[in-house]
């Protein structure tokens, strides 16, 4: 029993260290006080859906916000989190929910694409093909 408990704590420590290493570069902010996570997520979102009218908001914590064109779905990109508010697959998560930024961004973009596709006038980004 004691051995299992020790293994559990060692394993938990390794998971925390791996998580911290995977996210460390993604939390670095630029001159606009946006993190690399926000910049990459925006790029991936726009690769899938085309250019989006995302505004930078917030004083202490900067975030991006905007409507998906032709929908009533709002997307938010926080320093280490994201939200798709509306559509068939609402999404809300933070870095603690994902082992890597890439996995997080993939799910975020998939949810946003699903919301955009639920709108009859959706046209996929011609440079990317259908999402």
Residue span of the structural domain in which 102 resides: 2-117
Condensed to tens digits (0 to 9), the pLDDT of residues 30-80 reads: 889 999 999 999 999 999 999 999 999 998 889 999 999 888 899 999 999
| Verdict on whether the full-model pTM lies above 0.75 | yes
Residue 125 lies in a domain: no
Residue 129 lies in a domain: no
Compute the mean pLDDT over every residue in the chain, rounded to the nearest whole number: 85
Residue 124 lies in a domain: no
Residue 122 lies in a domain: no
pLDDT at position 18: 75
Provide the 3-class DSSP secondary structure of residue 77.
strand
Task: Provide the number of structural domains found in the chain.
Answer: 1
H helices, E strands: number in the chain: 3, 5
């Amino acid at each position: 029993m004691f051995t299992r408990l020790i293994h559990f704590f060692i394993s938990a420590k390794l998971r925390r260290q791996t998580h911290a290493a995977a996210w460390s570069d993604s939390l670095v902010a630029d001159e606009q006080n946006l993190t690399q996570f926000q910049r990459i997520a925006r790029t991936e979102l726009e690769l899938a859906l085309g250019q989006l009218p995302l505004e930078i908001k917030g004083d202490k914590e900067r975030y991006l916000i905007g409507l998906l064109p032709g929908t009533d779905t709002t997307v938010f990109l926080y320093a280490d989190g994201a939200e798709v508010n509306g559509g068939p697959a609402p999404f809300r998560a933070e870095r603690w929910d994902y082992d890597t930024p890439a996995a997080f961004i993939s799910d975020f973009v998939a949810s946003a694409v699903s919301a955009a596709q639920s709108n009859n006038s959706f046209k996929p980004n011609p440079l990317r093909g259908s999402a």
